[in-house]
Amino acid sequence: MNLFNVYPLFNINPIKAKGSFLWDDKGIKYLDFYGGHAVISIGHNHPHYQTQLKKQLDKISFYSNSVQNELQTELADKLGKISGYENYNLFLCNSGAEANENALKLASFHNGKNKILYFSGSFHGRTSAAVSVTDNPKIVAPVNYSERFIKCEWDNIEQLEGIFDKQGSVISSVIIEGIQGVGGIMIPSVEFLTKIKELCEKHDTVLILDEVQSGYGRSGYFFAHQEFGIEADIITIAKGMGNGFPIGGVLIHPKFQATNGLLGTTFGGNHLACVAAIAVLDVMKDEGLIKNAQEMGEYIENEIKDFPHIISIRRKGLMIGIELDRDCSEVRNNLLYNHQIFTGNSNDKTVLRVLPALTIKKEEANLFINALKTVVENL
């Protein structure tokens, strides 16, 4: 059997990883400045993470959601404390798309309405409702199109108000990323977010903050939207939550009523996934990683901002978009093949996306900074 060929692959086969580095099957060492797509939060194979997962393997890896699982309670408790959303409830699932799918469904169960408002440039995942509110026609199948999904231009307050004036009574939820990642590191303005919050409150519409990529300390805050003093009704998480172990979650305001069977999943919240997620939170707290994300992000921006061919830098913490005066693919390939550094791209072809582990140190950042300097100076 062959693999279903949906991924354009680099011809690199990593077989070992530690901290911010990967090694391939030829022994070549790579600096990971993309964290496997914002997934690696506490660094590859962190010793605490490894020990906890190995210990759990010797106890129990999985049982279904029909029994008590104290690890889920511990995770919810720690997540509530570190995020500041202590009085919210947690539903555990397996991925970012699944978290958003459940959030959109829950909003509709709650207020009985059936339309969803989303924004240009958005990416919310590839399941049914999640892909319908994703702004990329290439990945939306005919079965997913419906007039129930309303697109509004990013940061366009006038259009937003117009849509709510006409359809507010039927809009169940608004879904927005804390910072758009796939869209090219687009940071919402405080006016835009505040207006969304105000309109949601006025029209009994649920505000869903997708923090799948921008959450978990990446922005220098636990959730990116917290910098703006906005409180969401529902927050979705995944990526950095398990540092590579598949896990997602939905943080739910206490006003939402849980009933037996309303949401559910076979694998969500299994023992191994919970241990991985707890280990991530413990390391984030013990090693002060949110502060490190703030400091290292600022350091990198200051070092690179005057390099040639860089038009602008869009950044919060270690969520960094470097806008070039051209398609970024030449720079990205050059960094990878000549300097052994992984970076990412985005739907905005000019934006190089940089998402290192939140544990990065100055020496590691300097490897990237020096390599980027060489590459852009030789364009």
Shortest distance in whole angstroms from residue 99 CB to ligand PLP: 7
Nearest to ligand PLP of 210, 323 (CB atom): 210
User: How long a stretch of residues is the chain?
Assistant: 379
Residue 182 CA to its chain's centroid (Å): 10
User: Longest C-alpha distance within the chain, in Å?
Assistant: 61
Shortest distance in whole angstroms from residue 339 CB to ligand PLP: 25
Nearest to ligand PLP of 168, 242 (CB atom): 242
Q: Kindly tell me the sign of the dihedral angle through the C-alpha atoms of 39, 42, 47, 50.
A: negative
The footprint of ligand PLP (CB under 6 A) covers: 95-97, 100, 123-125, 177, 181-182, 210, 212-213, 238
Nearest to ligand PLP of 209, 272 (CB atom): 209
Shortest distance in whole angstroms from residue 353 CB to ligand PLP: 10
Shortest distance in whole angstroms from residue 347 CB to ligand PLP: 11
Nearest to ligand PLP of 95, 334 (CB atom): 95
Shortest distance in whole angstroms from residue 317 CB to ligand PLP: 15
CA neighbor of 352 nearest in space, from 363, 379, 364, 362? 379
For residue 118, the cross-strand partners are 151
Nearest to ligand PLP of 83, 334 (CB atom): 83
Q: Is 240 helix (H, G, I), strand (E, B) or coil?
A: helix
Separation between Cα atoms, residue 365 and residue 337, nearest integer Å: 18
Residue nearest to ligand PLP (CB): 96
Q: Kindly tell me the sign of the dihedral angle through the C-alpha atoms of 260, 265, 266, 270.
A: negative
CA neighbor of 127 nearest in space, from 248, 2, 289, 5? 248
Shortest distance in whole angstroms from residue 33 CB to ligand PLP: 17
Nearest to ligand PLP of 100, 350 (CB atom): 100
Query: Is residue 341 within 8 Å of 368, Cβ to Cβ?
Result: yes
Nearest to ligand PLP of 35, 96 (CB atom): 96
Shortest distance in whole angstroms from residue 288 CB to ligand PLP: 25
Tokens 């398990």 correspond to 242
Separation between Cα atoms, residue 225 and residue 213, nearest integer Å: 12
